């Protein structure tokens, strides 16, 4: 295990998520963004619980984080939690009027797909 390479992979993960240290730490359930800063500067490495959180929240394999071997477990597009985070960031950046329009559009799409797939109207 090369600590410098682990540090680079941790930086890469956060960069790919597009989150600040503060938002990244909150997504992982870590109280202080100082921990993320310590990881990215090489002063400390994440423990087992933090590594599991990175995997659970962002979809990166612990094996890849620690060794660089194998793939990242799943790509950004395959990780539902990463997709949800990205979707919420986009939604939050919209004005309230555009948020309302988007929600209406999503509800219409879901209602139409429910009718098409079952022949019955479903209310979501």
Q: What is the pLDDT of residues 48-102, one digit of tens each?
A: 999 999 988 888 888 889 988 876 555 444 556 666 776 777 888 889 999 898 8
Reported as a pLDDT band with limits 50, 70 and 90, residue 46 is very high
SS3 state of residue 60? strand
Residue 41 has pLDDT above 80, yes or no: yes
Q: What is the pLDDT of residue 123?
A: 43
Q: What is the pLDDT of residue 121?
A: 44
Distance set, CA 65 to CA 61, 90, 105, 107 (Å): 6, 27, 39, 38
Neighbour-count burial of 41, counting CB atoms closer than 10 A to its CB (0-12 exposed, 13-18 middle, 19+ buried): exposed
């Amino acid at each position: 295990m090369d600590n410098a390479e682990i540090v680079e992979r941790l930086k890469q993960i956060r960069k790919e998520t597009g989150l600040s240290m503060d938002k990244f730490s909150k997504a992982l359930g870590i109280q202080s963004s100082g921990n993320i800063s310590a990881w990215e500067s090489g002063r400390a490495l994440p423990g087992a619980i933090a590594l599991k959180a990175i995997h659970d929240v962002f979809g990166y394999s612990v094996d890849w984080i620690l060794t660089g071997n194998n793939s990242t477990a799943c790509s950004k597009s395959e990780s539902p939690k990463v997709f949800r985070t990205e979707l919420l960031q986009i939604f939050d950046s919209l004005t309230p009027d555009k948020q309302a329009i988007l929600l209406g559009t999503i509800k219409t799409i879901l209602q139409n797909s429910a009718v098409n797939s079952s022949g019955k109207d479903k209310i979501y």
